[in-house]
């Protein structure tokens, strides 16, 4: 019963996906919705798999510094791998989740120097955190609530002075005396002097114009003059004048007028106080963030002093009562029964229920984490085409801690004993295919690449910046050199400057009407086949004289003439390649005659040039071809007379030496 009772402040597991690990959250509020369901307002905690690789490197360096400072005992590589699964990152992000998605409790503590990291591995459902993650700024910062425990935070107590030994330390640097309890004045005289100081403060506020506006009545001025700042000033005046009442009286009212003493409560305006209350509701007592986001013109000492003065006002008491009333109306705890439904990733045996998940899994596969072959229950893990699975214990570990028990090749780590050579450069399917735990029958399927089409879509501001900052961007130069870096920050800054001026003279943007995707796909299917069939078995001739030709640098770099390429009578096709009877020319590169590998093939859309297309290319000039290549999205305008293709003119047959009549035939 107690294990299924969840209260405010508990760290719990939430399940948002059947295949992904649990989410670790802290319950802040339990609210009942209008339809009777219970929602939990939670604080988000992130794992290492949820942040970027650069932030992971920063977390690694922070962990190394912690181990050096706290002198942690040595741990094995497997323990170090599992400790990364126990580390979380706190955040200030809140979200609301259904309470029915809770899958259990866990423990999350702040890491300090006295902790031993290996102890976290000995406890179930135990996590730690030391850094705070900002999901918006994508930064990792040290937690402000660090408990400073350790030898470097302890005070150094000096040795006691012997009798008669003088203290040679500089007392002015160490402390300053502000009050002497052994003064010659009596308590009655001190109280009378404090009354005079309050009266002088009330009179000073009556003379000050700004104070008379803030405190229009005499009662408000007298109450402000009775605050602690006036009493501190009066007692400091007595100390400085050697507790002489006559001198202290004259100091209270100098020649220019009475001294006006104000504290932070009186200096702050009503709007600033409202901003402070709003910031306190959002950030709590994190005064650095309050100053940075809400009150940047105030000093940190001023904000802290105002906070403790604000706690003495009626405003604080009213807010405290309202929060207490809201807390009483909300739920304190909720009972969630144990989740017993089967997981969709559970692999059902072949003879039990057909059609369930795991029906296509092959026999002989081992657990990806512990590599066991026997388990009471198996679960599908990873991409479906890879057919990876986990045993029951490793599946529970994956769901709770977001990783595998041992560093495997799938995670880019080498085992040392079973992997003598480094495989960090291999892709995930290749590393899995080289695993000693994978059978040779499955390696062909694991090497199949699952490629997906992606689209880079620019925003409206980016398109405006391209037009407005054309002189800085130089789009033609950038298109010819895509590898050259572009200073995007400078272009954004210049665009923000030019944008207000350009609003008066709007740009002329012509909208482009694009056909729907379904129409384009139908046209492509109708015009070209999806998979071109490459002819095989054709014989490729090699001239014997080609073996003795000069292949020096001069023959490669010099542009060959038309007569040299064409010979004395070889007919040419529409695309400029010489034709031969029954055989293909050896001038065609061998790479174009190879069959495409299905694993390396891109998306199955192939554009095949027709005779009309090749004739159109021959009709275009060199300038028109370059313009069409730079802007492939624009329609090509060609005169109708240029489209007509002239029939090839037959040339006289080439004259070959007698030694070239019998070609050497090589199989392709």
Which tens digit of pLDDT belongs to each residue from 75-101?
888 889 999 999 999 998 999 999 999
Answer yes or no: do 252 and 375 share one domain.
Answer: no
Summarised one tens digit per residue, pLDDT across range 38-76 is 999 999 999 999 999 999 999 999 898 888 888 888 888
Answer yes or no: do 29 and 61 share one domain.
Answer: yes
Q: What is the pLDDT of residue 397?
A: 93
Within a domain: residue 466? Answer: yes
Summarised one tens digit per residue, pLDDT across range 595-643 is 555 555 555 556 778 888 888 888 888 888 888 888 887 877 766 554 4
Is 136 within 8 Å of 44 (Cβ atoms)? Answer: no
* Closest-CA residue to 288 (of 110, 135, 112, 92): 92
Within a domain: residue 649? Answer: no
User: Does residue 424 have a pLDDT over 50?
Assistant: no
Q: What is the pLDDT of residue 552?
A: 43
User: Does residue 480 have a pLDDT over 80?
Assistant: yes
Flag the least confident range among 16-30, 108-122, 305-319, 530-544: 530-544
602, two tokens: 């891109």
The pLDDT-based confidence of 413 (bands split at 50, 70, 90) is very low
Q: Is 89 exposed, middle or buried (0-12, 13-18, 19+ CB in 10 A)?
A: buried
Q: What is the pLDDT of residue 597?
A: 55
Answer yes or no: do 109 and 15 share one domain.
Answer: yes
Answer yes or no: do 127 and 230 share one domain.
Answer: no
Q: What CATH number is given to the structural domain containing 298? A: 1.10.10.60
Answer yes or no: do 19 and 116 share one domain.
Answer: yes
Answer yes or no: do 44 and 114 share one domain.
Answer: yes
Within a domain: residue 162? Answer: no
- pLDDT above 70 covers a percentage of the chain that reads 70
Q: What is the pLDDT of residue 598?
A: 53
Q: Which of 333, 356, 381 is the last residue of a domain?
A: 333
Using CA atoms of 308, 310, 312, 317 in order, give the dihedral in degrees to the nearest 10.
Answer: -120
Within a domain: residue 558? Answer: no
Summarised one tens digit per residue, pLDDT across range 333-373 is 888 888 888 888 888 754 444 434 444 455 567 888 888 88
Answer yes or no: do 32 and 110 share one domain.
Answer: yes
Q: What is the largest CA-CA distance in the chain?
A: 137
200, two tokens: 């002088």
Output the pTM of the full model. Answer: 0.47
403, two tokens: 């990783």
Q: What is the pLDDT of residue 450?
A: 47
Q: What CATH number is given to the structural domain containing 370? A: 3.30.50
Answer yes or no: do 258 and 198 share one domain.
Answer: yes
- Rounded (5°) CA angle 102-107-109: 135
Q: What CATH number is given to the structural domain containing 50? A: 2.30.30.490
Mean pLDDT rounded to a whole number for the chain = 75
Q: What is the pLDDT of residue 253?
A: 85
Within a domain: residue 312? Answer: yes
Q: What CATH number is given to the structural domain containing 194? A: 4.10.1240.50
What residues contact residue 547 under an 8 Å CB cut-off, 6+ apart? none
User: Does residue 289 have a pLDDT over 70?
Assistant: yes
User: Does residue 652 have a pLDDT over 70?
Assistant: no
Answer yes or no: do 47 and 117 share one domain.
Answer: yes
Answer yes or no: do 94 and 138 share one domain.
Answer: yes
Summarised one tens digit per residue, pLDDT across range 207-219 is 777 766 666 677 7
User: Does residue 471 have a pLDDT over 60?
Assistant: yes
Q: CA 390 to CA 25: how far, in whole Å?
A: 25
- pLDDT above 90 covers a percentage of the chain that reads 18
Answer yes or no: do 54 and 90 share one domain.
Answer: yes
> What value does the mean pLDDT take over residues 114-138?
90
Summarised one tens digit per residue, pLDDT across range 127-166 is 999 899 999 888 888 865 555 666 777 788 888 888 888 8
Q: CA 643 to CA 622: how far, in whole Å?
A: 16
User: Does residue 240 have a pLDDT over 70?
Assistant: yes
Within a domain: residue 307? Answer: yes
Instruction: Out of 75-79, 103-107, 256-260, 580-584, give the one with best mean pLDDT.
Output: 103-107
Q: What is the pLDDT of residue 26?
A: 95
Q: Which of 262, 295, 324 is the last residue of a domain?
A: 262
User: Does residue 449 have a pLDDT over 50?
Assistant: no
Within a domain: residue 204? Answer: yes
Q: Which of 77, 109, 142 is the last residue of a domain?
A: 142
Number of domains observed in the structure of the chain: 5
Answer yes or no: do 217 and 91 share one domain.
Answer: no
Summarised one tens digit per residue, pLDDT across range 426-438 is 444 444 444 444 4
Within a domain: residue 448? Answer: no
Q: What is the pLDDT of residue 453?
A: 60
Range of the domain at 495: 460-504
């Amino acid at each position: 019963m107690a294990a299924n009772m969840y209260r405010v402040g508990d760290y719990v597991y939430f399940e948002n996906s059947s295949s992904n690990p649990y989410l670790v959250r802290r319950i802040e509020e339990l609210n009942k919705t209008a339809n009777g369901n219970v929602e939990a307002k939670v604080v988000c905690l992130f794992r290492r798999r949820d942040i970027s690789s650069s932030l992971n490197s920063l977390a690694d360096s922070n962990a190394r510094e912690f181990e050096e400072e706290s002198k942690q005992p040595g741990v094995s590589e497997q323990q170090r791998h599992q400790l990364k699964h126990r580390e979380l990152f706190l955040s200030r992000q809140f979200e609301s989740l259904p309470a029915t998605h809770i899958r259990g409790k866990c423990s999350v503590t702040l890491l300090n120097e006295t902790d031993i990291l290996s102890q976290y591995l000995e406890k179930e459902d135990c996590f730690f955190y030391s850094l705070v993650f900002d999901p918006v700024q994508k930064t990792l910062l040290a937690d402000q609530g660090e408990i400073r425990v350790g030898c470097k935070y302890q005070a150094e107590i000096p040795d006691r002075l012997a009798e008669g030994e003088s203290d040679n330390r500089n007392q002015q640097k160490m402390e300053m005396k502000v009050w002497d309890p052994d003064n010659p004045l009596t308590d009655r005289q001190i109280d009378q002097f404090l009354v005079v100081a309050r009266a002088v403060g009330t009179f000073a506020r009556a003379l000050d114009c700004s104070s008379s506006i803030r405190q229009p009545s005499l009662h408000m001025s007298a109450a402000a003059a009775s605050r602690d700042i006036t009493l501190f000033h009066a007692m400091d005046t007595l100390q400085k004048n050697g507790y002489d009442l006559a001198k202290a009286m004259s100091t209270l009212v100098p020649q220019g007028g009475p001294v006006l003493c104000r504290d932070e409560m009186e200096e702050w305006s009503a709007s600033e106080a409202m901003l402070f209350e709003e910031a306190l509701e959002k950030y709590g007592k994190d005064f650095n963030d309050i100053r940075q986001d809400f009150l940047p013109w105030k000093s940190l000492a001023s904000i802290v002093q105002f906070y403790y003065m604000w706690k003495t006002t009626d405003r604080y008491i009213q807010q405290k009562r309202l929060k207490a009333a809201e807390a009483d109306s909300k739920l304190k705890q909720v009972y969630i029964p144990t989740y017993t439904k089967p997981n969709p990733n559970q692999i059902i045996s072949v003879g039990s229920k057909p059609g369930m998940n795991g029906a296509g899994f092959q026999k002989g596969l081992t657990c990806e984490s512990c590599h066991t072959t026997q388990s009471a229950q198996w679960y599908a893990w990873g991409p479906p085409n890879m057919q990876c699975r986990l045993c029951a214990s490793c599946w529970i570990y994956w769901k709770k801690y977001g990783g595998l028990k041992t560093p495997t090749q799938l995670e880019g780590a080498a085992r040392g004993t079973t992997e003598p050579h480094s495989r960090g450069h291999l892709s995930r399917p290749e590393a899995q295919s080289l695993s000693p735990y994978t059978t040779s029958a499955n390696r062909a399927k694991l090497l199949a690449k699952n490629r997906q089409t992606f689209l880079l879509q620019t925003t409206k501001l980016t398109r405006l910046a391209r037009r407005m900052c054309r002189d800085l961007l130089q789009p033609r130069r950038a298109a010819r050199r895509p590898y050259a870096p572009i200073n995007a920050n400078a272009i954004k800054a210049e665009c923000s400057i030019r944008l207000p001026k350009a609003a008066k003279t709007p740009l002329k943007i012509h909208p482009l009407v694009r056909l729907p995707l379904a129409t384009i796909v139908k046209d492509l299917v109708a015009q070209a086949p999806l998979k071109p069939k490459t002819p095989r078995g054709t014989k490729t001739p090699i001239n014997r004289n080609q073996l003795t030709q000069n292949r020096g640098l001069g023959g490669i770099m010099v542009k060959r003439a038309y007569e040299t390429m064409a010979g004395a009578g070889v007919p040419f096709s529409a695309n400029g390649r010489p034709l031969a009877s029954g055989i293909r020319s050896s001038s065609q590169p061998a790479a174009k005659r190879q069959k495409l590998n299905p694993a390396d093939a891109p998306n199955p859309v192939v554009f095949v040039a027709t005779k009309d297309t090749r004739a159109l290319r021959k009709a275009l000039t060199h300038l028109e071809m370059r313009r069409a290549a730079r802007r492939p999205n624009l329609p090509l305008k060609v005169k109708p007379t240029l489209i007509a293709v002239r029939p090839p003119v037959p040339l006289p047959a080439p004259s070959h030496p007698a030694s070239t009549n019998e070609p050497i035939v090589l199989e392709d």
